[in-house]
Structure 1
Amino acid sequence: MTGEGALTSPPLAESLAALVGGGPWTVLKDTKVTVVRSGDLVVKAHPPDTDETALAARLRMAAALPGVLLPPASPRVGHVAGRPVTVWPAGEPVDPGDPDAAPWEAAAVLLARLHATPLDTPLDGSAASPVDGAQATPPDGVPLSRALPPAGGPARVARAVALLDALDGQASEGRNGPGGAYAAPVAVIRAAFATLPREARAAASGLVPAARAEGPHAVTHGDWHLGQIVRHRGAWALIDVDDLGVGVAAWDLARPAAWYATGLLSPDLWERFLCAYLGAGGSAVPAGDPWRELDVPARALTVQLAATAVAAAGAEGRPLDEVERTLVSSCGRITQAAATR
């Protein structure tokens, strides 16, 4: 949807566009977050319950790592309609319809460089500051290990599985309720989720923060996939700092690992990605046995992807497609494998 020629303009999107000049605008995303592009800028309205202290630290981190993370266009967290807002340069996204042409090697190198950021590096507050002094922010000189919140990976798994609760309450003529078409895949996903270690079942409340999970700790993206990389001024950069923090680095490799393990990503693309990561000095996994560190995160991401997919199918009232059925089948194999351990 664009503001130019649109019959109706969503008030929030229109206000976001006005923040950066009010020219023609396009809604790029409108879910829990609303993302609007206007000219060469992208404006993101974060959820109302966003931890603004954490967001301010993440914004400062993005400003401090140019060449790895896309630096914000504005150093401040603003507010529109009661929601925290950040402003970013617009970049060229990866074409989701052509995975073979995706910048797998470039993405892997960026992740390796992110993970190599020393955790004792002091966070410099000169690069970014909160708007109007209205929010708490870590003081200058605090090391990243204390300034950044836990990375959001494990908590995303629990939130995805919680989406399935909505299907339990549906009773649309036997289609969606517990006795309907989604009951079996929901049960398979929940059974796989139950086999995961406690840190991978962390509640969104943060009772088991990602930073306490086992494995090498690093500055991690927290929700990496090919949609989280753009080309800006001729170079690729990581975007979306909403889950950036200190955590187990292997979680940043978990989504492509999960796709590979389920057969949805070709061995060639997986090898290109993994070899580029290790070749750039990536520390998340050992070269000789990467699955020693990837096993739990990859299983967790399989559960997350399956839960998100089935919840979306249920909300739309449609049958599962081939990819969604493959993810559910992989959850079944996770449960079977756990039973033999």
Structure 2
Amino acid sequence: MSDSPARQPLIRELGALAHRLHHPPGIPRATPCACAPPQLLADRPDGTVVRSGPVVAKAHAADIDRLALAARLALASAPQLAGILLAPLTSPGPVDTAGPAPRPVTFWPYGTPVDPKAPDAAPWADAAILLARLHRTVSPLPFPPPPMRGPVKAARAVARMAAALPGDGAVLPVQAAWHALPAWARGEAAPPAARSGFLCHGDLHLGQLVRHPAPDGPWLLIDVDDAGQGDPAWDLARPAAWYAAGVLAPDDWLLFLDAYRSAGGPAVPATGDPWPQLDVPARALTVQTAAVALAKCAAEGREPDEMEQLMIDSCARIATFPPELADGCAS
């Protein structure tokens, strides 16, 4: 459970809601409940996630766009996305938490996450294939999907960094790299029309995959809070940024890229150099990762670790790109 006393009421409430969905009141049970105590899976400003047995309850951010959330839940529930996105347990229309700032709550089946202690077994190829299938799927919604929130999320990370380290010189290379990006990659304008009509996840990393049914079902993508219509290259951008910074091994990057191409993913050409399509999103994800790292370091009173420093150093290199190169990458 969370160490913060202020978070305990929300966590207890989520545990109770998840448990109640698993054991609805008024339905007699043959045996006494043997469920383990609720387990906190994640606790961030944009999402608190608690598990009770096979049910997971997620409290979304209080200021989330609820109409967009309902549309994203409808996408995850659509038969056309079965086998790609984990479907919620309840129909769109999340309940709210109690308290002065109610947060919408959605319910999901529990899935087995990627094991961070087994990097050699990381499902890079599975993630790539799921992305390719998602990107090739025509939206089943009877209305336009909401925009993919990747650029907006990057902008929030940069703002969070600036608020955590006001006047600190450590943020300058990250901010310089950020301002070198085109407006659409900063969430300030629409992406190029030719690249904006695809269903995207919006926040792809290995923490967004689970096996369902647990423990060894097929891999599925989870967390649709940022999903929507946009540039599919954004979903490849975090692995690309990690590879460019030296965080992701070349073999893992090539495995991911080759699997995506083999599955017919439209974000990059089937052959040849993928970087004309990936460069701007990868630079944006580099900035986002570095900004989050600096904000976390400020909050925890520590220096960046090796991986975080690699991303920060990458921002310093990005900030030195000549203007003509930055302009060319933005096209």
TM over 0.5: yes
Tell me the SS of whatever aligns to 1:336: coil
**Matched AA of 2:231:** V
- What is the CA-CA distance between 1:215 and the residue it aligns to? 2.4
Distance 1:54 1:328, change over 3 A: same
Residue segments in structure 2 that go unaligned for 5+ positions in a row? 21-34, 326-331
Structure 2 residue 220 is the aligned partner of structure 1 residue 237 = yes
2-side partners of 1:262 and 1:184: how far apart? 21
1-side partners of 2:136 and 2:178: how far apart? 31
2-side partners of 1:213 and 1:224: how far apart? 22
Tell me the SS of whatever aligns to 1:319: coil
Match of residue 72 from structure 1: 88
**Matched AA of 1:329:** D
Check whether the contact 1:114–1:219 (CA below 8 A) recurs between aligned residues: yes
From 153, 156, 166, the equivalent of 2:153 is: 156
- What is the CA-CA distance between 1:209 and the residue it aligns to? 4.5
C-alpha distance after superposition, 1:6-29 (max 9, x if no partner): x99811111112213255201111
Structure 2 residue 309 is the aligned partner of structure 1 residue 321 = no
**Matched AA of 1:271:** L
Distance 1:19 1:209, change over 3 A: farther
Match of residue 30 from structure 2: none
1-side partners of 2:159 and 2:266: how far apart? 32
Residue segments in structure 1 that go unaligned for 5+ positions in a row? 124-141, 170-177
Check whether the contact 1:58–1:244 (CA below 8 A) recurs between aligned residues: yes
From 188, 202, 215, the equivalent of 1:222 is: 202
- What is the CA-CA distance between 1:97 and the residue it aligns to? 3.0
> Identity over aligned residues, as a percent?
53
Q: How does 1:1-341 map to 2 (within 5 A)?
A: 1=1, 10-21=8-19, 23=35, 24-32=37-45, 33-64=47-78, 65-76=81-92, 77-81=94-98, 82-119=102-139, 121=140, 123=141, 142-143=142-143, 146=144, 148-169=145-166, 178=167, 183-203=168-188, 208-209=189-190, 215=195, 217-233=197-213, 234-286=217-269, 287-339=271-323, 341=325
2-side partners of 1:308 and 1:214: how far apart? 30
1-side partners of 2:196 and 2:148: how far apart? 13
Tell me the SS of whatever aligns to 1:240: coil
2-side partners of 1:9 and 1:184: how far apart? 33
Tell me the SS of whatever aligns to 2:211: strand
Tell me the SS of whatever aligns to 1:21: helix
Tell me the SS of whatever aligns to 1:20: helix
Distance 1:322 1:238, change over 3 A: same
Check whether the contact 1:213–1:247 (CA below 8 A) recurs between aligned residues: no
- What is the CA-CA distance between 1:101 and the residue it aligns to? 0.8
- Of 148-157 and 10-19, deviating more is 10-19
2-side partners of 1:8 and 1:152: how far apart? 29
Check whether the contact 2:200–2:229 (CA below 8 A) recurs between aligned residues: yes
- What is the CA-CA distance between 1:78 and the residue it aligns to? 1.4
2-side partners of 1:45 and 1:236: how far apart? 23
C-alpha distance after superposition, 1:61-114 (max 9, x if no partner): 001111000011111411122211100000000012332211111111100000
- What is the CA-CA distance between 1:331 and the residue it aligns to? 0.6
Tell me the SS of whatever aligns to 2:320: helix
C-alpha distance after superposition, 1:30-52 (max 9, x if no partner): 11111100000100001111111
- What is the CA-CA distance between 1:296 and the residue it aligns to? 0.2
Check whether the contact 2:18–2:51 (CA below 8 A) recurs between aligned residues: no
1-side partners of 2:7 and 2:159: how far apart? 32
Check whether the contact 2:165–2:298 (CA below 8 A) recurs between aligned residues: no
1-side partners of 2:65 and 2:278: how far apart? 29
Q: TM-score, normalised by structure 2?
A: 0.85
**Matched AA of 1:223:** D
Tell me the SS of whatever aligns to 1:320: coil
C-alpha distance after superposition, 1:278-307 (max 9, x if no partner): 001111111312111100000000000000
Deviation above 6 Å: which 4+ runs of structure 1? none
**Matched AA of 2:240:** A
**Matched AA of 1:10:** Q
1-side partners of 2:18 and 2:51: how far apart? 9
Match of residue 329 from structure 2: none
Tell me the SS of whatever aligns to 1:237: strand
**Matched AA of 2:116:** P
